[in-house]
Amino acid sequence: MQVFSGLRFRLLLLVLLVCAPLVVLILHSTDEDRQRAMANWQQRSAEMLQISHSEETEMVDSARQFLLAISESSAIHSRAKDCTSFLREELRSYPRYSQLGIIKPDGKIMASVGRNPGPTTNFDQSFLRPVLETKTFAAGGFPVRSADGKPAITFAHPVFDRAGRVALVAFAELDAPWFTRLGSEFSFPFPKGAVWMEIDGNGKMITRYPKEGDWFGEALPEKSLLPVVFSRAEGALEQPDHTGVPYFYAFNSRPSSLTADPVVSIIGIPRQVLFAEADHLLQRNLTLLGLAAGLAFLIGWIGSKVLVLGPVQTLVRSTVRLAAGDLTVRTGLNSGRGELGQLTRAFDSMVQTLEQRELERQRASQKLQLLSHRLVEVQESERRHIARELHDEIGQSLTAAEINLQAALQLPGNEALERRLEDSIQAVERVLEQVHDLSLSLRPSMLDDLGLEPALRSYTQRQAELTGMQAEFHAAHLDSRLDSMIETECFRVAQEALTNVVRHAQAKAVTVALSRKNGHLHLSVRDNGIGFDVSTLREEAVRGASLGLLSMEERASLAGGGIQFNSSPGQGTEVQAWFPLKWRSLPGLSENNHE
């Protein structure tokens, strides 16, 4: 996967994309060649139609003139023997006809001669009725077969008497070797595998080229063509022939004197043969393009290493070192005027600026940490002092006042004075309790006297008694006292966490745990309250809506530890904090203290 995402691959892909329009152009040119080949083949279909129509017209006109001449000859009105001799001479002069004769309107043959051996009285007489009805030239049924089973067509012309009535009918039979010559002379070479057919309205073949087998009058093998070719006058389509070979067919229809319905001319060619030239050009052009693209790939592969990849890889290595925090890194490349030269100059300048700003940031951060440490120490010192003053001075004074008031209450006096003394005693007790609570909140003396574990255990139990929560406290491996500032910071974080539980969590139970492991002091405060979305609350804290989270994070960080909040709506909350076992002493702290 790294190979396919590399810069070299992308450069070579760019070369490929440059070749893509050429591929599209070649494919478009091939498509135009194929369209041109199909159009030419449709043009050939029209030419074939014109050829077959012309030859059919010539054949019919020739038969009409021939029979007209016979019908006007006086020889046909002579004796049957003389008439037969006349017909035989005419048949010799026109060898295209296989049979020639004279028939009476009632269907009796007056005279008949034929070129084939055997009787000449057995032939298709379907021409007789249309001639008698129209009194003009007509053709018999088509396609039909003669008495010997060969394809044939019969033409007929009426012979009139002096009164203008049809007295006789002259007919001539044309056999297959003549009328199936339609379209046999082409003005263009016939491609290999191509086929040309003409079918009547029933789908039977009346013309086919090349002439293979006995096809005359047979149904078209490609029967799936019939619905299409009969639905419109002309068109083209692609589909397999009866053997399954893909063919392209073009078709046209024309009126015919031989059939009642139009004749459909169909010319087909194997798709592979029709598109052979276009496919050959496509293969040649794609081969040349592939060779050119391969050469371009080779040049790009070699040239990209020298011109692009070398400087870019140097920049990548420098960027990796920069990402790892090495601000002393420089590319060491010669800065040219090109884009890569501008990039290396900008990179080196950026790193130099970052290095300077990092030094400034470190100095500012060190000053801020010194100030934060001093602030924490001063704050705790002041809290300790105020808590002791409240406990020792104000607490003792209030206690003395309470004793004096109780003593005064024992003296005899009126009831009003006693009530006032009782109210005063209760007020002093409340103030004394408030002073005691305030002293514990500021700095519980137990934290200084007994250490973290007793102070936090007592604070947890006291909060549980005030709120009615079920509280559990666990401490493990805390056999000795810790650094006083570490104990103070851990107590403050736990105090803030328990305050949040009381104010916001709506919890029924809370568990506080202390332990020492892996060289750190670990604190855990877990409740079964409503929980919260950590990211949302953190965003609100940054905007100043709630400083509890930020205060706990700041205390843990200043002590050299860390803190983690695990919570989600409806799942309760767990605060996990860890601290070093010794308070960090920063350089310069003693000087600042001295100042």
**Which tens digit of pLDDT belongs to each residue from 463-487?**
888 888 999 999 887 777 888 888 8
Contact 483, 489 (CB under 8 A): no
Residue type, 66: F
Last-in-domain residue among 386, 415, 443: 443
Q: How many domains does one find in the chain?
A: 3
Q: How confident is the model over 155-159, as a mean pLDDT?
A: 92
Domain-embedded: residue 234: no
Residues 379 and 497 in one domain: no
pLDDT value of position 595: 38
| CATH number for the domain that contains residue 541 | 3.30.565.10
pLDDT value of position 397: 65
pLDDT band at residue 227, thresholds of 50, 70 and 90? very high
Please tell me the least confidently modeled range out of 486-495, 497-506, 582-591: 582-591
Q: Is the pLDDT of residue 445 over 80?
A: no
As a whole number, the mean pLDDT across the chain is: 80
pLDDT value of position 122: 52
Domain-embedded: residue 225: no
Distance of CA 170 to the CA centre of its chain: 78
pLDDT value of position 593: 43
Domain-embedded: residue 229: no
Residues 87 and 172 in one domain: yes
Residues 458 and 576 in one domain: yes
Domain-embedded: residue 161: yes
Distances (CA, A) of 551 to 20, 22, 375, 487, 498: 61, 66, 13, 16, 14
Summarize pLDDT for 349-381 with one digit per residue, the tens: 888 888 888 888 878 777 776 666 666 666 666
Residues 495 and 536 in one domain: yes
Distance CA 516, CA 479 (A): 10
Two structure tokens written together for 216: 């005359």
Looking at per-residue pLDDT, the higher value among 327 and 33 belongs to 33
Residues 468 and 573 in one domain: yes
Please tell me the least confidently modeled range out of 346-360, 418-432, 550-564: 418-432
| CATH number for the domain that contains residue 94 | 3.30.450.20
Domain-embedded: residue 531: yes
Residue 5 gets which letter from DSSP? T
Contact 541, 563 (CB under 8 A): no
Q: Phi/psi at 263 (nearest 5 deg)?
A: -95, 135
Summarize pLDDT for 166-179 with one digit per residue, the tens: 989 999 988 765 55
Domain-embedded: residue 29: no
Two structure tokens written together for 533: 């979305």
Last-in-domain residue among 126, 149, 179: 179
Share of the chain above pLDDT 90, in %: 20
Please tell me the least confidently modeled range out of 10-14, 201-205, 368-372, 570-574: 368-372
Domain-embedded: residue 578: yes
Residues 420 and 488 in one domain: no
Alpha carbons within 13 angstroms on the beta-carbon side of residue 399 total: 9
Last-in-domain residue among 443, 470, 488: 443
Domain extent, residue 354, equals 333-443
Domain-embedded: residue 558: yes
Residues 397 and 501 in one domain: no
